[in-house]
């Protein structure tokens, strides 16, 4: 989601007040940021940041693979985020 918050926990260089509040909420509900690396999720001119965050609980985190921020033009200030979800269950 677009949380407009910054924290090293999901790739930002520093933590702002919204990042601290979100990190506290994530600890309360036992969620983790699945962002991998420091790929910017928002770009405006020469400014870029990691404010788009993919959250998951422990069970979902095991199934989420290949997270990446894409650099192709999204016609928005926000970059596309892609990832794959794998199921451990075999199809019936």
Tens-digit pLDDT profile for residues 34-46: 998 888 898 888 8
Domain that holds residue 79: 8-85
Q: What does the pLDDT read at residue 90?
A: 64
Specify if 91 maps to a domain.
Answer: no
In the chain, what percentage of residues exceed pLDDT 70?
A: 97
pLDDT of 64 over the 70 cut = yes
Q: Report yes or no on 1 lying in a domain.
A: no
- CA-to-CA distance for 81 and 39, rounded, in angstroms? 10
* N-term to C-term CA, the chain: 33
pLDDT digits (tens, 9 = 90+) for 6-40: 999 999 999 999 999 999 999 999 999 999 888 88
Instruction: Report if residue 53 sits inside a domain.
Output: yes
Q: Are strands 55-56 and 32-33 parallel, antiparallel or unpaired?
A: antiparallel
How many domains are contained in the chain?
Answer: 1
Domain assignment present for 92 = no
CA dihedral 39, 87, 24, 6 (to 10 degrees): 10
Residue 43 lies in a domain: yes
Task: Assess if residue 40 is contained within a domain.
Answer: yes
Question: Does residue 31 form part of some domain?
Answer: yes
């Amino acid at each position: 989601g677009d949380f407009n918050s910054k924290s090293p926990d999901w790739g930002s260089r520093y933590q702002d007040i919204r990042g601290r509040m979100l990190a506290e909420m994530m600890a309360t509900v036992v969620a983790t940021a699945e962002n991998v690396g420091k790929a910017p999720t928002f770009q405006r001119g020469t400014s870029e940041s990691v404010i788009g965050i993919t959250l998951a609980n422990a069970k979902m985190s095991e199934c989420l693979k290949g997270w990446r921020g894409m650099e192709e033009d999204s016609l928005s200030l926000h970059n596309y985020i892609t990832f794959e979800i794998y199921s451990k269950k075999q199809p019936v």
